[in-house]
């Protein structure tokens, strides 16, 4: 005999208990600590901070642990926490020219003031699995150089000096940077909101879109003007004090893409720019972001909008992985009421067709008999 | 890092967020069927799992409310259980499974069978609020269509359906026109429930979290399902009665009993079914047992 | 009490639950136009602001909602009080105002200078909170429209004469238009833009 399903509450509670068990895994092994994750899985932590839009290494590491290493789940956890935090105001724009640079490369100049600094990069590592990492071998201290007094000027400033690259763009005096986590989105959107959406957008989605521009879907001839990674100071203006105070330092990755020049009868040719800025160390994300930023400026720069990466509504509506994963995964929730409606409709339509066929056959038989 | 990460406000949302949502709700009521954009927050449950409905409920709920949460008509589906538990935790609110006792009913995919009253609010969880979305994916375009009351495309689509299938084959999320002006998505409820929206005594609120829209149908407001003179709107009918309570003219779930084609039909609205059985109504499946006991 | 002190006194004693209670009355009121509700908690608003209008201001206004005040309110402590307790800025531009508070006996010469919303975003319109002499007393009006089963009769004392004409001009703009909340002391009723009013 059929008994209606009950006990959802107990099922959920037991499922979560099992989840906790699987998260912990084999109890004979030491539990991984938040510090260990923050220190040794730093790039995972960086990605979580970037896409959650919350700079807090410990909380991001906690989220990575809690999510069993599922980074989109970790991003979701950190975002849900972020949304409950009070807002005290906006920081002063970061000055990346003042960055304590750890890595800085430019593809547009062989050498330049401040030099090329490789920093802690996977580039030029040979991707061979390293058996020494199977055990806990001692690791050498890094080589350090004396901090030179030389200012590491931005490549875009070098180009701007000659007027070769478009200006950053002027915003009206009273412009307040938008915040898509506080205001409903509206299309078309300003570049400030677009960059915010891209900065917290899914790395994989932006990578694929950036890649597509390289394969001809909205090609815009990019050169990496500069990538720099390092620490910058975050400051906030305190109205009561009348000056900005330092809130601390954060590590960011910045990418300036220098793109296809354009000119007109009025303006001489100039390079255009695409911009990427990401919390933590993530060159792949910053580069993808700058490619997509440039692609999304197509309309502003008078180019034809033909490719997915140039389509603002398409890109911005689908770049958020927390939204995307929620909606895709919601399909596993029960839909049996709707499915029942579809079942009944399909059965009815099949019955109609069957009835029509039978009627046809009937007519044929009658006709045969009459002949 | 603090061990006590966060303390949450009553009903989880901060007061500023509630005010923003409350203002959107008031405008939604004054423009029936129009989708008001709102700055949807990230909730501690996934997008697509009821974040819009949860934000609406959190913004209206108070200590005197009695909350009922259903999914597919049932109080005991896992997501309904989870949302109900959320409100018990963050708002310490009284909950019920009885439709008649609830002041706020949050739902996914169904409208209760029992007629709702003046003192009740029905909050729908909405995945895709835009009824024109599958005809035109661009928000910039659909917004214009609503502004100009340009709904020809929707009628063309429904008519094409008739040309191909001999009938309007849309069975759920069946578009309606509210107070003669806005075409609205009733959320993926089966079209069986559409007539319940018309001139309802209860206020109906719709929340779409991921899509950041809130809309409303005030009480005593015309809600008309789109159709054609020669192809009038009609709702699903079931040949069977509920096997448990014998109810007729209600929406039924098909339950597969074995792998030999055995199946039965039972009420989708679990509270309605239980209430009928408590009042002595007996369906085909329970009746023989009763005879045997006599 | 000086205007300045008045501005910093009052406010809800229990903002979370009191604003929820006022909002629920507003929501029910907007859903059932013409039904009269009465607020329970005084927000200690300065004169000449009424208790209901004060509670509504604290429930709905914040720094995202510029508010406009009629002349009598503007020269009192009302602006500072709303600003201090809700964070809303007081604007002199009607078109910028999300909320407008109008003292008893005054009718704006037109609703058209307030924001009426756009055809694409009709929700971006001003809500006017207008004080009248009394609700549930005075002249009878018949209301109809969404939220009302057939007709509803309501008595309003001191509704400015021009109001019906302004309202009649507002209705055909739909979906654009202003929404109105009439207040009288502790009582209020809502008139969403969909409501038709006949004297």
pLDDT (tens digit per residue) in B132-186: 998 999 999 999 999 999 999 999 999 999 999 888 989 999 999 999 999 999 9
Q: What is the pLDDT of residues A15-64, one digit of tens each?
A: 999 999 999 999 999 999 999 999 999 999 999 999 999 999 999 999 99
Closest Cα in chain A to B214: A184
Report the pLDDT value the prediction gives residue A370, as an integer from 0 to 100: 61
Strands (E), C145-192: 152-157, 179-184, 187-191
Question: Same structural domain for residues A228 and A284?
Answer: yes
Nearest Cα neighbor of B142 from B188, B226, B134 is B134
Residue pair C131/C181 in contact by the 8 Å Cβ criterion: no
Question: Same structural domain for residues A264 and A195?
Answer: yes
B58 touches chain C (CB under 8 A): no
Q: What backbone torsions phi and psi does residue A220 show, to the nearest 5 degrees?
A: -140, 25
Report the pLDDT value the prediction gives residue B2, as an integer from 0 to 100: 47
Question: Same structural domain for residues A209 and A61?
Answer: no
Binned at pLDDT 50, 70 and 90, residue A148 comes out as low
- Residue A242 maps to a domain: yes
Nearest Cα neighbor of B188 from A341, A200, A133, A286 is A341
CB-based contacts of C1, cutoff 8 Å, min separation 6: C9
Residue pair C100/C129 in contact by the 8 Å Cβ criterion: yes
CA distance A111 to A106: 8
Binned at pLDDT 50, 70 and 90, residue A295 comes out as very high
CA distance A34 to B72: 41
- Residue A113 maps to a domain: yes
Sheet of strand C196-198: strand arrangement: C152-157, C134-144, C196-198
Residue of A70, A340, A355 to mutate, testing the B interface (most B Cβ within 10 Å of its Cβ): A340
Question: Same structural domain for residues A64 and A109?
Answer: no
Residues of B in contact with A355 (CB under 8 A): none
Nearest to B47 among A322, A340, A344 (CB): A322
Residue of B47, B129, B140 to mutate, testing the A interface (most A Cβ within 10 Å of its Cβ): B47
Task: Tell me if residue B33 is catalytic.
Answer: yes
Residues of A in contact with B8 (CB under 8 A): 84
Tokens of B231: 């192809």
- Residue A275 maps to a domain: yes
Report the pLDDT value the prediction gives residue B231, as an integer from 0 to 100: 93
Report the pLDDT value the prediction gives residue B86, as an integer from 0 to 100: 94
CA distance B25 to B214: 7
Closest Cα in chain C to B220: C147
Report the pLDDT value the prediction gives residue A149, as an integer from 0 to 100: 63
The distance in angstroms from the start CA to the end CA of chain A is 56
Residue pair A61/A37 in contact by the 8 Å Cβ criterion: yes
Question: Same structural domain for residues A103 and A73?
Answer: no
Question: Same structural domain for residues A108 and A206?
Answer: yes
Report the pLDDT value the prediction gives residue A192, as an integer from 0 to 100: 93
Domain ends where: A35, A55, A82? A82
Q: Is the pLDDT of residue B33 over 70?
A: yes
Q: What is the largest CA-CA distance in chain C?
A: 49
- Residue A288 maps to a domain: yes
Closest Cα in chain A to B165: A349
Nearest to A84 among B8, B40, B166 (CB): B8
> CB B23 to CB C60 under 8 A?
yes
> CB C175 to CB B31 under 8 A?
yes
Place of tokens 């207040």: C183
B19 touches chain C (CB under 8 A): yes
Report the pLDDT value the prediction gives residue A268, as an integer from 0 to 100: 82
Question: Same structural domain for residues A58 and A114?
Answer: no
Q: Is the pLDDT of residue A363 over 80?
A: no
Residues found in chain A? 371
Helix (H/G/I), strand (E/B), else coil: C142: strand
Domain ends where: A33, A57, A82? A82
Domain ends where: A303, A323, A343? A323
> CB B5 to CB A59 under 8 A?
yes
Report the pLDDT value the prediction gives residue B56, as an integer from 0 to 100: 98
Residue of B11, B21, B26, B182 to mutate, testing the C interface (most C Cβ within 10 Å of its Cβ): B26
Residues of B in contact with C122 (CB under 8 A): 31, 34
Task: Tell me if residue B242 is catalytic.
Answer: yes
**Could you give the number of structural domains in chain A?**
2
Question: Same structural domain for residues A100 and A238?
Answer: yes
Sheet of strand C90-91: strand arrangement: C37-38, C187-191, C179-184, C127-131, C99-102, C67-69, C90-91
Q: Is the pLDDT of residue A146 over 80?
A: no
Report the pLDDT value the prediction gives residue A3, as an integer from 0 to 100: 47
Q: What is the rounded average pLDDT for all residues in chain A?
A: 91
> CB A323 to CB B47 under 8 A?
yes
B partners (3+ CB pairs within 8 A) are A, C
Q: Domain limits at A43? A: 9-82
**What share of chain B in percent tops pLDDT 90?**
88
Question: Same structural domain for residues A159 and A293?
Answer: yes
Task: Tell me if residue B209 is catalytic.
Answer: no
Nearest Cα neighbor of C51 from C105, C111, C141, C129 is C129
B171 touches chain C (CB under 8 A): no
Task: Tell me if residue B273 is catalytic.
Answer: yes
Q: How far is B72 from chain A (nearest CA, A)?
A: 6
Over residues A240-247, the mean pLDDT reads: 90
Over residues A69-90, the mean pLDDT reads: 92
Q: What DSSP designation does C129 have?
A: E
- Residue A22 maps to a domain: yes
- Residue A25 maps to a domain: yes
Q: What is the largest CA-CA distance in chain A?
A: 109
Place of tokens 């058996």: A131
Higher pLDDT, A183 or B142: B142
- Residue A258 maps to a domain: yes
Question: Same structural domain for residues A71 and A102?
Answer: no
Give CA separation, C155 vs C103, C128, C142, C143, C168, in Å. Answer: 19, 19, 9, 11, 18
- Residue A16 maps to a domain: yes
Question: Same structural domain for residues A69 and A23?
Answer: yes
The dihedral formed by the CA atoms of B142, B144, B147 and B149, expressed in degrees to the nearest 10: -70
Comparing A52-66, A255-269, B239-253, the range with the smallest average pLDDT is: A255-269
Higher pLDDT, A220 or C103: C103
Question: Same structural domain for residues A74 and A162?
Answer: no
């Amino acid at each position: 005999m059929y008994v209606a399903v009950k006990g959802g509450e107990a099922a959920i509670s037991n499922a979560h208990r099992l989840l906790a068990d699987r998260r912990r895994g084999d109890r004979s092994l030491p539990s991984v600590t938040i510090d260990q994750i923050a220190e040794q899985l730093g790039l995972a932590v960086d990605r979580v901070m970037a896409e959650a839009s919350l700079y807090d290494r410990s909380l991001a590491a906690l989220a990575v642990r809690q999510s069993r290493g599922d980074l989109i789940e970790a991003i979701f956890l950190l975002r849900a926490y972020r949304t409950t935090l009070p807002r005290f105001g906006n920081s002063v724009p970061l000055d990346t020219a003042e960055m304590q640079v750890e890595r800085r490369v430019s593809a547009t100049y062989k050498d330049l003031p401040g030099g090329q600094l490789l920093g802690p990069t996977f580039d030029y590592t040979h991707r061979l699995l390293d058996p020494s990492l199977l055990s806990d071998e001692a690791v050498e201290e890094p080589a350090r150089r004396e901090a030179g007094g030389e200012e590491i000027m931005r490549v875009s400033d070098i180009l701007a000096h000659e007027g070769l690259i478009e200006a950053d763009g002027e915003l009206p005096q009273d412009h307040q940077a938008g915040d898509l986590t506080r205001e409903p989105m509206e299309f078309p959107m300003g570049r400030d909101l677009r960059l915010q959406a891209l900065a917290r957008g899914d790395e994989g989605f932006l990578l694929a879109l950036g890649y597509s521009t390289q394969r001809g879907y909205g090609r815009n001839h990019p050169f990496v003007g500069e990538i720099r990674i390092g620490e910058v100071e975050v400051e906030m203006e305190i109205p009561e004090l009348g000056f900005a105070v330092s809130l601390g330092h954060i590590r960011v990755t910045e990418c300036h893409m220098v793109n296809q020049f354009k000119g007109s009868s009025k303006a001489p040719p100039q390079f255009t720019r695409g911009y990427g800025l990401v919390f933590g160390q993530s060159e792949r994300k910053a580069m993808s972001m700058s490619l997509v930023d440039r692609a999304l400026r197509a309309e502003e720069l008078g180019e034809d909008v033909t490719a997915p990466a140039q389509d603002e509504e398409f890109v911005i509506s689908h770049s958020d992985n927390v939204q995307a994963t929620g909606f895709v995964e919601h399909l596993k929730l029960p839909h049996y009421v709707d499915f029942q409606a579809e079942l009944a409709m399909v059965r009815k339509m099949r019955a109609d067709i069957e009835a029509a066929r039978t009627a046809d056959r009937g007519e044929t038989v009658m006709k045969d008999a009459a002949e | 890092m603090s061990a006590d990460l966060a303390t949450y406000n009553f009903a989880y949302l901060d007061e500023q967020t509630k005010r923003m949502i409350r203002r959107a709700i008031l405008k939604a009521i004054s423009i029936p069927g129009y989708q008001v954009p709102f700055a949807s927050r990230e909730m501690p449950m996934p997008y697509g799992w009821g974040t819009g409905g949860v934000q609406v409920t959190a913004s209206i709920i108070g200590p005197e409310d009695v909350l009922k949460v259903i999914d597919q008509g049932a109080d005991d589906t896992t997501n309904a259980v989870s949302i109900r538990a959320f409100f018990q935790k963050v708002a310490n609110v009284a909950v019920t499974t009885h439709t008649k006792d609830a002041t706020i009913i949050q739902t996914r995919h169904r409208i209760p069978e029992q007629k709702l009253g003046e003192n009740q609010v029905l909050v729908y969880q909405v995945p895709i609020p835009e009824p024109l979305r599958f005809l035109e994916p661009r928000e910039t375009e659909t917004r214009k269509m609503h502004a100009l009351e340009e709904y020809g495309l929707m009628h063309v689509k429904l008519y094409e359906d008739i040309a191909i299938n001999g009938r309007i084959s849309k069975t759920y999320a069946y578009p309606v026109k509210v107070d003669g002006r806005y075409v609205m998505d009733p959320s993926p409820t089966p079209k069986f429930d559409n007539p319940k929206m018309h001139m309802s005594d209860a206020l109906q609120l719709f929340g779409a979290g991921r899509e950041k829209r809130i809309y409303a149908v005030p009480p005593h407001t015309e809600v008309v399902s789109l159709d054609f003179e020669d192809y009038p709107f009609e709702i699903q009918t079931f040949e069977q009665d509920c096997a448990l309570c014998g109810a007729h003219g209600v929406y039924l779930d098909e339950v597969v009993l074995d792998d030999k084609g055995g199946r039965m039909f039972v009420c989708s609205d679990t509270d309605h079914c239980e209430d009928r059985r408590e009042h002595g109504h007996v369906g085909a499946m329970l009746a023989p047992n009763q005879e045997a006991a006599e | 009490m000086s205007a300045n002190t008045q501005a910093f006194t009052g406010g809800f004693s229990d903002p979370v639950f009191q604003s929820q209670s006022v909002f629920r009355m507003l929501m029910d009121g907007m859903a059932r136009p013409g039904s009269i509700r009465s607020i329970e908690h005084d927000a200690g608003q300065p004169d000449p602001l009424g208790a209901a209008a004060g509670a509504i201001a604290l429930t709905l206004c914040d720094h995202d909602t510029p508010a406009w005040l009629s002349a009598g309110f503007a020269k009192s402590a009302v602006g500072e009080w709303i600003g201090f307790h809700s964070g809303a800025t007081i604007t002199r531009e009607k078109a910028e105002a999300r909320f407008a508070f109008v003292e008893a006996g005054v009718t704006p010469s037109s609703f058209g200078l307030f924001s009426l919303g756009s055809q694409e975003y009709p929700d971006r319109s001003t809500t006017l909170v207008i004080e009248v002499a009394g609700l549930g007393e005075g002249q009878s009006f018949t209301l109809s429209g969404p939220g009302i089963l057939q007709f509803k009769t309501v008595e309003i004392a001191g509704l400015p004469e021009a109001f019906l004409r302004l309202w009649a001009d507002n209705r055909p703009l739909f979906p654009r238009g202003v929404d109105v909340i009439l207040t009288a002391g502790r009582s209020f009723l809502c008139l969403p833009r969909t409501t038709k009013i006949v004297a």
